[in-house]
Amino acid sequence: GILVLVLSRILGASVAVRQRYNGPQKDECVDDASYESKLGMKCSDHSSFVCEELVSTNFLSGHELDNLLESCPVSCRVPRCEKYLPPLEAQRRGHVEDAPMGEERDLLITFPSQDGDQCFIGWDPSCKDDPSYASPLGGLPCSAYVNTQCALFRHVGFTEAEMLAFINSCPCSCGIECK
């Protein structure tokens, strides 16, 4: 009795493992409706962007990206789900090759100001984040981008116009001085 139970559990687990890796199943290619990132973003907030590039910008850690890809395979266009999705061009914003950056600000090593009147020591006091800015990535404010590599968001899928608005609206959070 016990031997049969153990064997059936082992064989059952083996069949489950084989079924899991038999290739994509339609029911495996569904976004988790309850997913919400640490910034309050749902799966659908990622659908216009290249999810994998969020790590290079320091927006997500590797573990957070793994969780995003597992939870949002449709929105992130995980390869195993490609055959269930419309063509890429209809959904995803262009990569950097499609929307080359015109002029980028020089990235400067800066240190936050301690006086509160300006965001960085030596910067013009009028150089401030726009409190009404809403990012194309989930409508996030500038403060969500502190400690990220803002200039790399063009690889995520921000268009040239979106990048210019982003950098001009969030100089303090991005650490890129106004000119």
* pLDDT (tens digit per residue) in 103-114: 443 444 344 443
Percent of the chain at pLDDT above 70? 66
pLDDT band for position 132 (cuts 50, 70, 90): very high
Q: Which residues pair with 112 in a beta bridge?
A: 120
Instruction: Choose the most confident range, by mean pLDDT, from 54-63, 81-90, 166-175.
Output: 166-175
- Distance (Å, whole) CA 140 – CA 20: 36
Residue 93's nearest CA partner among 151, 54, 49, 142 is 49
Token pair of 64 as six digits: 């957070």
Q: Are 2 and 54 in contact (CB under 8 A)?
A: no
pLDDT surpasses 80 at 42: yes
pLDDT band for position 16 (cuts 50, 70, 90): very low
Those residues whose C-beta lies under 8 Å from the C-beta of residue 54, and which sit 6 or more positions away, are 60, 65, 68, 156
Q: Would you say how long the chain is, in residues?
A: 179
pLDDT surpasses 70 at 48: yes
Distance, first Cα to last Cα, the chain: 79
Whether this model's pTM surpasses 0.75: no
- Distance (Å, whole) CA 69 – CA 52: 8
Cα-based distances in Å from 100 to 9, 80, 140, 141: 55, 29, 23, 24
Residue 179's nearest CA partner among 121, 104, 113, 116 is 104
pLDDT at residue 130 in the model: 95
Percent of the chain at pLDDT above 90? 38
pLDDT average, residue stretch 24-42: 80
Residue 45, phi then psi, degrees to nearest 5: -70, -15
Residue 37's nearest CA partner among 8, 21, 60, 9 is 60
pLDDT at residue 83 in the model: 79
**What average pLDDT does the chain have?**
74
179 against 135, higher pLDDT: 135
Residue with tokens 């061009």: 89
pLDDT surpasses 80 at 166: yes
20 against 164, higher pLDDT: 164
pLDDT at residue 56 in the model: 87
Residue 112, phi then psi, degrees to nearest 5: -60, 140
